[in-house]
Amino acid sequence: MSGHNVWTHKGTFLLAAVGSAVGLGNLWRFPYLTGENGGGAFILVYALTIFAVGIPILIAEIMLGRTSRQSPIMGMRHLTKTHGTSRAWETIGWLGAASAFLILSFYSVIAGWAIHYTWLMLTGSLVGADAQTISTGFDALLAAPGLMTLYHTLFIAASALIVGMGIHKGIESGLRIMMPALFVILLVVLAYGVINGDIGAAASFLFTFNIADLSLEGWLQAMGQSFFTLSLGMGAIMAYGAYMPSNVSLTRTAFAVAIVDTAVAMVAGLAIFALVFGAGLETGQGPGLMFVTLPLAFAEMPFGALVGGVFFILVLGAAISSSISLIEPVAAFLVERFDMTRPQAVTIMVIAAWAMGLLTVVSFNLWAEGTIFHTLFGRTAFDFIELLTNIFMPVGGLLIALFAGWALTQSEVMKELGSSVAWFKLWRFLVRFVAPAAVAFVFLRTLPQVEGYLIPTLGALLIIGAFAASQRWLKKPRQTT
Ligand code: PFF
């Protein structure tokens, strides 16, 4: 056992996990990916993976954290020893650290845009502005790498300060107010969208589908998004699980996180698309979607500058509570493994992610479409990093599912789950077979189309390797049924 202490309040884990899950993934990434992928079919794949794959893996991931009570890498090392399995399962921790690092790098840049809009709102700069002005303003932000770097620096530094000072002090009470406030203000925007936008068109865009409309990369993006939005498959939730008191229900917590997270995404999606259709904007405009549509609503609504200012502050709060969960697993590892102090560990992680974030900054200007980088690689660095995380998170989730499903003993899992045998059996069936099969299905279907031969080979190798090795790595399977 490590020196990990356990959170004293029962609700702290739920709060921290919701804080991690709800963020730019719901407000910015979900609407923009849905818009780019034609709506309903994307949501269908996303929702199916949330419920059939996401929730079981969420449970598995918290369970691994809580039984090991260490950071993901050290925790997996510990579990492989106590369960007589191969050390290769530590890959879960390493892959998670790599994903956390990649995600933090672009997450902070996008959160930086929210700083810009908070400022524009509070100074009233956009009051009465029309769609044209707002979209030109957004393009101007994208064209300014210096300004974007400044915001990126501010955001990542603020996150680092919070994690460096110790994870849950202050955050907890902040989240208790912020999360409900965010939801309420989203409902206000939705109400505005219902009155002034076209909610009918939004609903039919989001909830009617023709699965054939979804491109192959769309499948990968939908699955990747369901992992992304639940903060799954990369150790963030495992790291928090290490602090979760043993008497809190895993199942109930996991469902609560998934339901709250999905609700936020749906309300955000409905509000944004009601505005998009109402104003005749483009659904597939990409990463700028939220930053162009919502300010338009705030420009027109009564007290819009104030409502918009508060809204973007809450977006920033939600983003910070997610970004600290990206820093935590890597920082905790550095502390445990190299005896660093917390501030040292956080500084190293954050400086590296900051530097990597510059690639995202230039993806929108110096190395944007039409420049040499894009011509050479066929996509921007930001697109490439997103693609990598869309692969890494599900692979990480797959490994977590296999380890929790096959290596943990029945009595161990029953103790953790603390529920009926029927639910245990269903859960184990989901993590043993359904989740791995679903992830493999999407990979095999998608990857050949994504990046020539390189990625399919990589993906197939990873999957075959994981399946084959899971049997060999689990030297002594302890479960018989
Ligand atoms: N779930 C966060 C969001 O939806 O904004 C993003 C995220 C946080 C992803 C933490 C992964 C993670 F480990």
The closest residue, in CA terms, to atom 11 on ligand 1 is: 231
Q: What is the DSSP string of 65-91?
A: HHHH-S-HHHHHHHHHHHTT--GGGGH
What pLDDT shows up at residue 163? 86
Distance 54 CA to ligand 1 centre (A): 13
Distance 318 CA to ligand 1 centre (A): 10
Report yes or no: 19 and 322 within 8 Å, Cβ to Cβ: yes
The closest residue, in CA terms, to atom 10 on ligand 1 is: 231
Q: Is 25 in the pocket of ligand 1 (CB under 6 A)?
A: yes
Distance 101 CA to ligand 1 centre (A): 12
Whether residue 453 is predicted with pLDDT greater than 60 in this model: the reply is: no
What pLDDT shows up at residue 444? 77
141 versus 473: the higher-pLDDT residue is 141
Report yes or no: 286 and 32 within 8 Å, Cβ to Cβ: yes
**CA–CA distance, 69 with 2 (Å, rounded to integer):** 7
Distance 231 CA to ligand 1 centre (A): 4
Q: Which amino acid is at 402?
A: L
What pLDDT shows up at residue 376? 81
Q: Is 229 in the pocket of ligand 1 (CB under 6 A)?
A: yes
Closest ligand 1 atom to residue 322 Cα is 8
Q: Which amino acid is at 60?
A: A
Inter-axis angle of helices 250-278 and 171-196, nearest 10? 40
Distance 61 CA to ligand 1 centre (A): 14
Average pLDDT (341-364) is 95
Q: Is 325 in the pocket of ligand 1 (CB under 6 A)?
A: yes
Whether residue 480 is predicted with pLDDT greater than 70 in this model: the reply is: no
Q: Is 99 in the pocket of ligand 1 (CB under 6 A)?
A: no
Q: Is 24 in the pocket of ligand 1 (CB under 6 A)?
A: yes
Residues 6+ apart with CB under 8 A from 328: 163, 167, 236, 239, 240
Coil/strand/helix, residue 302: coil
**CA–CA distance, 136 with 29 (Å, rounded to integer):** 21
Distance 326 CA to ligand 1 centre (A): 7
Percent of the chain scoring above 90 in pLDDT: 69
Rounded to the nearest 10 degrees, how much is the dihedral formed by the CA atoms of 316, 193, 273, 265?
Answer: 50
Closest ligand 1 atom to residue 21 Cα is 1
pLDDT class of 450 with cuts at 50, 70, 90:
low
pLDDT class of 1 with cuts at 50, 70, 90:
very low
Q: Is 164 in the pocket of ligand 1 (CB under 6 A)?
A: no
**CA–CA distance, 29 with 34 (Å, rounded to integer):** 8
199-189-200 Cα angle (round to 5): 0
Q: Is 220 in the pocket of ligand 1 (CB under 6 A)?
A: no
Buried b (16+ CB within 10 A) or exposed e, 449-467: ebbeeebbeebeebbeebe
What pLDDT shows up at residue 2? 44
34 versus 211: the higher-pLDDT residue is 34
Report yes or no: 268 and 193 within 8 Å, Cβ to Cβ: no
pLDDT class of 336 with cuts at 50, 70, 90:
confident
Whether residue 478 is predicted with pLDDT greater than 60 in this model: the reply is: no
463 versus 96: the higher-pLDDT residue is 96
Average pLDDT (50-55) is 94
**CA–CA distance, 42 with 37 (Å, rounded to integer):** 6
Whether residue 141 is predicted with pLDDT greater than 50 in this model: the reply is: yes
Distance 211 CA to ligand 1 centre (A): 26
Buried b (16+ CB within 10 A) or exposed e, 223-251: bbbbbbbbbbbbbbbbbbbbbbeeebebb
Give 241-294 pLDDT, tens digit per residue: 999 999 899 999 999 999 999 999 999 999 999 999 999 999 999 999 999 999
pLDDT class of 6 with cuts at 50, 70, 90:
confident
Distance 20 CA to ligand 1 centre (A): 6
Report yes or no: 387 and 450 within 8 Å, Cβ to Cβ: yes
Average pLDDT (309-314) is 97
Residue among 325, 326, 334, 481 at smallest CA distance from 414: 481
Residue among 371, 424, 431, 377 at smallest CA distance from 406: 431
305-310, Cβ contacts within 8 angstroms, sequence gap of 24 or more:
305/121, 305/122, 305/123, 305/124, 305/126, 305/127, 306/121, 307/185, 307/188, 308/117, 308/121, 308/126, 309/118, 309/121, 309/122, 310/181, 310/185
pLDDT averaged over every residue in the chain? 90
Phi, psi of 21 (to 5 degrees): -70, -45
Distance 307 CA to ligand 1 centre (A): 25
Distance 21 CA to ligand 1 centre (A): 5
Closest ligand 1 atom to residue 235 Cα is 13
pTM of the model: 0.91
Report yes or no: 406 and 470 within 8 Å, Cβ to Cβ: yes
Average pLDDT (174-185) is 93
Count CA atoms within 13 Å of residue 41 on its CB side.
16
Q: Is 156 in the pocket of ligand 1 (CB under 6 A)?
A: no
Whether residue 26 is predicted with pLDDT greater than 80 in this model: the reply is: yes
Report yes or no: 93 and 235 within 8 Å, Cβ to Cβ: yes
Distance 157 CA to ligand 1 centre (A): 18
Percent of the chain scoring above 70 in pLDDT: 92
Distance 471 CA to ligand 1 centre (A): 30
Average pLDDT (418-447) is 88
Whether residue 238 is predicted with pLDDT greater than 90 in this model: the reply is: yes
What pLDDT shows up at residue 452? 59
Give 98-127 pLDDT, tens digit per residue: 999 999 999 999 999 999 999 999 999 999
Most informative mutation of 71, 228, 237 for ligand 1 (most atoms within 8 A of CB) = 228
Most informative mutation of 155, 163, 231, 264 for ligand 1 (most atoms within 8 A of CB) = 231
| Residue ranges of domains in the chain, CATH in brackets | 2-473 (1.20.1740.10)
Closest ligand 1 atom to residue 329 Cα is 13
Whether residue 207 is predicted with pLDDT greater than 80 in this model: the reply is: yes
